Amino acid sequence: MSKNKKMLSALLAAAFMVGGWSVGQSTVQAAQNYHAVPVYADLETDVVVSGKDAADDPAVWVNPKDPSKSTIIATNKGGGILVYDLQGKELYSYKAGRPNNVDVRYNFKLGDKKVDIVAATDRDFGGILIYTVNPKTGELTEASARPLLCKMPKVYGFSLYQSAKTGKHYAMVVGYKGEFEQYELLDNGKGKIDAKLVRSFQVGSIAEGMVADDQLGNVYISEENVGIWKYGAEPDAGDYRVQVDSIGAGHLLADVEGLTIYIARDGKGYLIGSNQGDNSYNVYERGGKNQFIGSFSIEDGKIDGTYDTDGIDVIGLNLGKDYPNGFFIAQDGENMNGDKQLNQNFKLVRWEKIAKAIAPGLIIDNTVNPRKAGKN
C-alpha cells in the first residue's frame, strides 16, 4: 500500500481523541498546536543496495573549486559508506561494517596539508570511521590511525565539530543508553588521524540525532523519547544543557531523530529536526532560545514523499543551476514506486521551496560556504 501521511496524521489524531493510544493530554495538544506545511521533493537518490532499514544519514561535501560538483555522502547500515552526485547517482561505495551516522568537516591539519574529512560511527566494531576526501573527485580514503574504539558498548549517533576558538576538530558520539563521548582528532605524524577522549557524560536515554554548530559553539542532541537538548560543544563545557523542545508539552512526537543546521550570515539560520512520530520536520531559530518557527513535511508528488525519517542535512550555498539556494535532504524510510516498496533512499528539496512555504518566510542566504569554518 502506498504511504499517505495525511491519512496517517488523521488516523493518529483520531486515535488520540478516542483514547486508542495511551498518551497524555499534553501530547494531543502539542500535536494540534501546529500544522506541517507540505513541500515536494525535487530529486531522489539511487536506492541503497541493502534492503529493509538500511539507509540512515546524509551529509553534503562541498567541492572546493566547483560547488555544482559537490557530493552527498550517506550511510548504508547494511555495510557501507555511499557517495552520490547532486543528481542522486551513486558514484562510489565503500565497504564498512554497519555505519550509522556520518558527518563532514574541512581544513583538518594533516602533515603539511589541510584536508577534508568524513567520519561516521560503525556499530560493527563499536567505534569511529574516518576518511579523507579527494578534492578533485570526491573519492574517500580511509585515514584512521588505528581502530578508534569508543568506551560505550553500542555507538549510535554522530557529529563532527570544529571549534571557532581553537580550530581543533572533534568527533562526538552518542549511544543506545544515552552515553555521550567527545574525542579530539589528532594528526599521528604518519599521515593518519588518531583520537583522544576529552569529555563524556550521560544524556539520559537512547539518543541518535546530533549536530554541532561550529560558530556558535553548541551541540544539539535528540533524546528519542524525551526531546531536543542544547549543550556547549567545547570539551570543557561539562554536561549543562537547555531543553529546546519536548515530546508531550512541546512540538514533538516520538521518535525524535536527525538534526541539522541551516547556516546564514551573522549567526542567523535554523535548527531543523526530524519529528519522526509525525513524519515532519520542525524548524527552530538557530540562535538564542531556539524558538519554534514551524514545520513541514515532504509529501507524495512526482517523486514520493518521505516517511519515518532518520537522518537529515541542509545546505544553503549556491550549488549551481539545479540548486541555486542549496537543498534539504532527508532519508526516506519507506521508499515507494506506486504500490511497490523499494529499498530506501534519500529525497532532496530545494531550500527556497521550504523557505517560502513556512510563514512568514525563512531566510534564503546562498552565500555561506561551510568550508570557511567559524566565519559564518
Tell me the per-residue pLDDT of 19-47, one tens digit each, with 9 for 90 and over.
Answer: 333 333 344 444 445 689 999 999 999 99
Of 368, 325, 270, 313, the C-alpha closest to 74 is 313
User: CATH number for the domain including 226?
Assistant: 2.120.10.30
Does some domain include residue 68? Answer: yes
Res. 2: pLDDT tops 90? no
Q: ω before 360 within 30° of 0 (cis)?
A: yes
Matching residue, cell 567545547: 234
Report how far residue 113's alpha carbon sits from residue 115's, in angstroms, rounded to the nearest whole number.
6
Res. 105: pLDDT tops 60? yes
- Which pLDDT band holds residue 80 (cuts at 50, 70, 90)? very high
| % of the chain beyond a pLDDT of 90 | 87
What pLDDT is attached to residue 215? 96
Matching residue, cell 531522489: 44
Does some domain include residue 376? Answer: no
Does some domain include residue 365? Answer: no
3-state SS string over the chain?
CCCCHHHHHHHHHHHHHCCCCCCCHHHHHHHHCCCEEEEECCEECCCCCCCCCCEEEEEEECCCCCHHHCEEEEEECCCEEEEECCCCCEEEEEECCCEEEEEEEEEEEECCEEEEEEEEEECCCCEEEEEEECCCCCCEEECECCCEECCCCCEEEEEEEECCCCCCEEEEEEECCCEEEEEEEEECCCCCEEEEEEEEEECCCCEEEEEEECCCCEEEEEECCCEEEEEECCCCCCCCEEEEEEECCCCECCCEEEEEEEECHHHCEEEEEEEHHHCEEEEEECCCCCCEEEEEEEECCCCCCCCCCCCEEEECCCCCCCCCCCEEEEEECCCEECCEECCCEEEEEEHHHHHHHCCCCCCCCCCCCCCCCCCC
The whole domain housing 338 covers: 5-357
Report how far residue 137's alpha carbon sits from residue 122's, in angstroms, rounded to the nearest whole number.
24
What pLDDT is attached to residue 343? 93
* Average pLDDT of the residues of the chain: 91
- Which pLDDT band holds residue 373 (cuts at 50, 70, 90)? low
More confident residue, 13 or 367: 367
Question: Radius of gyration of the chain from Cα atoms?
Answer: 19
Please state the rounded mean pLDDT for residues 154-164: 97
Name the phi and psi angles at 30, rounded to 5.
-60, -40
Structural domains in the chain (count): 1
**Half-sphere exposure of residue 180, counting CA atoms within 13 Å on the CB side?**
31
Does some domain include residue 362? Answer: no
What pLDDT is attached to residue 374? 59
Cα 354 to Cα 63, 253, 276, 337, distances in angstroms:
24, 21, 18, 24
Does some domain include residue 118? Answer: yes
Res. 301: pLDDT tops 50? yes
Please state the rounded mean pLDDT for residues 183-189: 98
Does some domain include residue 366? Answer: no
Name the phi and psi angles at 55, rounded to 5.
-65, 145
Report how far residue 231's alpha carbon sits from residue 239's, in angstroms, rounded to the nearest whole number.
7
pTM value is: 0.92
| % of the chain beyond a pLDDT of 70 | 90
Name the phi and psi angles at 90, rounded to 5.
-70, 125
Does some domain include residue 372? Answer: no
